[in-house]
């Protein structure tokens, strides 16, 4: 089945194993969403300044904005991330704490030096494209909807940034990746999808020039850069629409033509844990690789099972084993995610629901800095911008244990499944804690 990353198709186009399944996020994905929001605000500021007639040379000031300490949190009413308080690129208030999910383990991020470097690196590429354009006010759009097919509003995506120079008919499609996995821009379906949407919206012909660019501040490509790019003509993008995108959508809409394959895209599929292809491959691999009968093996004895490893001197065996390992890694990850969800509703034999381990954090970092000044540990007016962690503070002896206990808090961890032998105390599933609720 075809899947376009960050693109959405109507439910009628996609046949799933379970209608109740939905995409699950991760800490890394949510961190990327938080960084994307800061990128979006920066590009919006650039676009506003261009529309106001600000010279291109003055736009570089956006790279001097201090983002460190800015909090970005997930909204209660939707999955989008938003800045809590004041927009760092302007004086506007974005939203207030009561409008966001204040789950510090998953939903709230504070911009640090690494995130600030990543956002600035992305904005540098945006500014470079604007400088290269010959128009005094090129088209600059951030987080805009991309509809690559005329008359099809149910096939769309959201592009990070589109820049178009009407003078030279040059289109830039920029995508920001804050993860650590290398993604090439060469024939990248996601970037081509956005380019097709931009050409459709701007009514561009095949004579235009298209630049696909993926900015990845946390990785390094073979050429030493942290970006990957590809230069195309508009005709090449139109050919991709006709010979790749349209047939893929037609296959999705025609069950007889749908082709299901296991591949890297399975990592993002919420149905991976119950996918028949994944189950078949996992079972076949397990039966081949394990010496013991897994059906009757106690969970506590799993670590002692001997794996039948491929011959280290046989490249073909190693290649096959690596493919199997990739499938198993995806499948086992989704099985654990599914079990964690189901385990909150009902008991799973041999396992119990427990709280994840969490670390103490300060209730208010400014109060900690003030306590350090009052104790004479640091001179007044010379306090650092960020105090040590509670554990580090205990070792330093800068504050008493009573002070640390008063100023810190240990939040409850999220729920996860663990074997019955785990030392942590069990938490009852909701079905047991609330067996019946009367009106």
Interval 214-256: pLDDT, tens = 999 999 988 899 999 999 999 999 999 999 999 988 887 877 7
- Band of residue 134 on the pLDDT scale cut at 50, 70, 90: very high
Region 364-387 average pLDDT: 72
SS3 readout for the chain: CCCCCCEEECHHHCCCCCCCCCCCCCHHHHHHHHHHHHHHHHHHHHHHHHHCCCCHHHHHHHHHCCCCCCEEEEECCCCCEEEEEECCCCCCEEECHHHECCCCCCCEEECCHHHHHHHHHHHHHHHHHHHHCCCCCCEEEEEEEECCCCCCCCEEEEEEEEEEECCCCEEEEEEECCCCCCCCCCCCHHHHHHHHHHHHHHCCCCCCEEEEEEECCCCCCCCCCCEEEEEEEHHHHHHHHHHHHHHHHHHHHCHHHCCCCCCHHHHHCCCHHHCHHHHHHHHHHHHHHECCCCCCCCHHHHHHCCECCCCCCCHHHHHHHHHHHHHHHHHHHHHHHHHHHHHCCCCCCCEEEEECCCCCEECCHHHHHHHHHHCCCCCCCCCCCCCCCHHHHHHHCCCCHHHHHHHEECCCCCEEEEECCCCCCCCCCHHHHCCCCCC
CB-based burial label for 251 (10 Å; 0-12, 13-18, 19+): middle
Mean pLDDT over the full length of the chain: 80
pLDDT of residue 384: 58
pLDDT of residue 168: 95
Residue 17 pLDDT > 60: no
Answer yes or no: are the C-beta atoms of 350 and 409 closer than 8 Å.
no
Residue 45 pLDDT > 90: yes
pLDDT of residue 9: 37
pLDDT of residue 348: 78
Segment among 53-62, 160-169, 297-306, 370-379 with least mean pLDDT? 297-306
pLDDT of residue 49: 95
Interval 310-357: pLDDT, tens = 676 778 777 777 776 776 777 777 777 777 777 777 777 778 888 877
pLDDT of residue 439: 46
- Band of residue 306 on the pLDDT scale cut at 50, 70, 90: low
pLDDT of residue 433: 47
- Band of residue 2 on the pLDDT scale cut at 50, 70, 90: very low
The domains of the chain are located at: 13-251, 264-342, 354-432
Residue 302 pLDDT > 50: yes
pLDDT of residue 133: 95
- Band of residue 4 on the pLDDT scale cut at 50, 70, 90: very low
The strand pairing partners of 293, in sequence order, are none
* Residue of 87 and 9 predicted with greater confidence: 87
pLDDT of residue 339: 77
- Band of residue 91 on the pLDDT scale cut at 50, 70, 90: confident
Closest CA to 6 of 253, 260, 197, 141: 197
- Band of residue 293 on the pLDDT scale cut at 50, 70, 90: low
The phi and psi torsions of 49 (rounded to 5 degrees) equal -65, -40
Segment among 39-43, 160-164, 250-254, 266-270 with least mean pLDDT? 266-270
Is this prediction's pTM over 0.75?
A: no
Region 368-389 average pLDDT: 71
pLDDT of residue 169: 95
Region 251-280 average pLDDT: 70
Segment among 52-66, 67-81, 346-360 with least mean pLDDT? 346-360
Region 392-408 average pLDDT: 85
Q: Work out the percent of the chain whose per-residue pLDDT is above 90.
A: 39
Residue 425 pLDDT > 50: yes
Region 62-91 average pLDDT: 89
Region 376-382 average pLDDT: 59
Region 6-20 average pLDDT: 40
Residue 300 pLDDT > 70: no
């Amino acid at each position: 089945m075809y899947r376009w990353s960050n693109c959405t198709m109507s439910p009628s186009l996609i046949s799933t194993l379970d209608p109740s399944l939905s995409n699950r996020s991760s800490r890394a994905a949510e961190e990327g969403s938080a960084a994307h929001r800061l990128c979006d605000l920066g590009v919006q500021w650039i676009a506003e300044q261009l529309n106001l007639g600000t010279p291109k040379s003055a736009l570089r000031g956006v790279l001097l904005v201090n983002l460190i300490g800015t909090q970005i949190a997930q909204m209660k009413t939707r999955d989008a991330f938003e800045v809590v308080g004041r927009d760092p690129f302007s004086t506007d208030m974005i939203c207030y704490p009561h409008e966001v999910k204040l789950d510090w383990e998953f939903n709230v991020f504070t911009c640090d030096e690494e995130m600030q470097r990543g956002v600035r690196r992305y904005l540098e590429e945006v500014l470079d494209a604007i400088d290269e354009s010959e128009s005094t006010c090129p088209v600059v759009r951030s987080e805009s909807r991309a509809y690559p097919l005329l008359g099809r509003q149910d096939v769309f995506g959201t592009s990070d940034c589109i820049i178009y120079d009407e003078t030279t008919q040059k289109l830039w499609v920029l995508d920001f990746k804050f993860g650590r996995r290398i993604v090439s821009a060469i024939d990248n379906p996601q970037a081509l999808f956005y380019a097709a949407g931009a050409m459709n919206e701007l009514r561009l012909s095949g004579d235009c020039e298209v630049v696909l660019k993926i900015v990845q501040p946390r990785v390094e490509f073979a050429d030493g850069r942290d970006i990957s790019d590809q230069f195309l003509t508009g005709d090449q993008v139109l050919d991709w629409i006709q010979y790749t995108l349209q047939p893929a959508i037609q296959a999705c809409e025609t069950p007889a033509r749908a082709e299901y394959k296991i591949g890297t895209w399975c990592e993002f599929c919420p149905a991976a844990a119950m996918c028949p292809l994944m189950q078949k491959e996992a079972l076949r691999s397990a039966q081949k690789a394990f010496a013991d009968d897994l059906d009757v093996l106690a969970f506590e004895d799993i670590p002692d099972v001997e794996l039948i490893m491929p011959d280290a001197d046989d490249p073909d065996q190693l290649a096959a084993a690596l493919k199997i390992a990739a499938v198993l890694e995806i499948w086992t990850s989704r099985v654990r995610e599914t079990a964690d969800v189901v385990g909150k509703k009902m008991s799973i034999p041999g396992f119990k629901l427990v709280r994840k381990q969490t670390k103490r954090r300060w209730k208010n970092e400014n109060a900690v800095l003030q306590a350090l000044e009052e104790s004479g540990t640091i001179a007044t007016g010379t306090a650092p911008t960020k105090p040590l962690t509670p554990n580090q503070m205990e070792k330093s002896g800068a504050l008493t244990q009573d002070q640390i206990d008063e100023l810190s808090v240990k939040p409850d961890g999220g729920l996860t499944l663990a074997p019955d032998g785990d030392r942590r105390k069990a938490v009852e599933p909701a079905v047991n804690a609330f067996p019946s609720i009367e009106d």
